[in-house]
Amino acid sequence: MQKLPLRATWLAALKMPWQHRGTFFKIMWPWLLAAGVVYVVAVVISFAAMAGATPPTGVFVVSMIAGVIAMVLASPAIVGALRYVIADEAQRHGFGERTKRFLLAYLVMLAVYLPVMGLYMFSGPQIAPDGTFGFARPGLAIAVIVITLIILPIVMRLGFVFPAIVDDEPIDFARAWGRTKGNTWRILFGYLILSMGITFVGSFLVGFLGAFLTVFSGPLAPVVAIFSMLLNVLLMIYLLVCILSWFGLAYLALASNRPEPQAAVSDTGNGSSGSGSTGNGG
């Protein structure tokens, strides 16, 4: 039974987005830009609904649909990034065969999680006039948290179907489950440490910098607000690429007998790559 080299995978995933930033930018930017616009719309709709005394269910449904559309738009970028991590192929993807298989697997997992999303919606998330966040039905909110914690290890293991699809491997959810056998807690722990660590440190630094600049902003307050927002966007993109790198490198480690994953070294950060060129493949 192959064991995931947790520390090596974690460190490689943490460094890869910065070391190969040029290539990741080249193959991801147009799709992330389109998805980002839709995502912002979804967030604005959600916050507008939560700010009301009785958030309408229909608004949450529209927001959820917008979030799914954003994911669909981002899927070629995700496929391209995973392909680069796994195969060192720097190619911009469109909605080709790989992306279609990726989206099919995503929709299957989304359908499984849909009841939990429904519970969250009916729990009545609200933003009070003083800015505090709460729920109209706290019991349902607690149920959502408990269910999410229970199924998270399952979702993490099944998620290895995505890098396998990008690697053109004939794999399904059952095979992804079997391949990750004996690594449930390594996979879960590695993912949580990576995502929560980056989110905590990044949010602290962005918040600290924003607070520091606000002191000297005066009439430049709107500029400072925009700057802080851009920093948050960059943090989210870095986190996304880190997670994709982690999944790709973990997939390679579990798919072979190599003792440690090695990030590709062909890119120098200027957009060059050792084995692929930007195109419109799928």
Please give the full DSSP string across the chain, using - where no structure is assigned: -PPP-HHHHHHHHHHHHHHTHHHHHHHHHHHHHHHHHHHHHHHHHHHHHHTSSS--HHHHHHHHHHHHHHHHHHHHHHHHHHHHHHH-----B-SSHHHHHHHHHHHHHHHHHHHHHHHHHHT-EEE-TTS-EEESSHHHHHHHHHHHHHHHHHHHHHTTHHHHHHTT----HHHHHHHTTT-HHHHHHHHHHHHHHHHHHHHHHHHHHHHHHHHTTGGGHHHHHHHHHHHHHHHHHHHHHHHHHHHHHHHHHHHS--SS-----S--SSS--SS-----B-
Identify the residue with better confidence: 213 or 25: 25
pLDDT band at 115 (very low <50, low <70, confident <90, very high): confident
pTM reported for the whole predicted model: 0.78
pLDDT band at 103 (very low <50, low <70, confident <90, very high): very high
Identify the residue with better confidence: 73 or 281: 73
pLDDT value at residue 5: 87
Identify the residue with better confidence: 260 or 137: 137
pLDDT value at residue 278: 43
pLDDT in tens, 20-43: 999 999 999 999 999 888 888 777
pLDDT band at 77 (very low <50, low <70, confident <90, very high): very high
pLDDT in tens, 186-210: 998 888 888 888 888 877 777 777 6
pLDDT band at 145 (very low <50, low <70, confident <90, very high): confident
pLDDT in tens, 124-135: 666 665 556 666
% the chain with pLDDT above 90: 22
Q: Compute the average pLDDT of residues 237-256.
A: 89
- pLDDT for residue 235 is more than 80: yes
Average pLDDT, the chain: 79
pLDDT value at residue 80: 95
Identify the residue with better confidence: 228 or 116: 116
- pLDDT for residue 50 is more than 70: no
Q: Which of 42-51, 56-65, 167-176, 212-221 has the highest mean pLDDT?
A: 167-176
Identify the residue with better confidence: 41 or 11: 11
Q: Compute the average pLDDT of residues 56-71.
A: 77
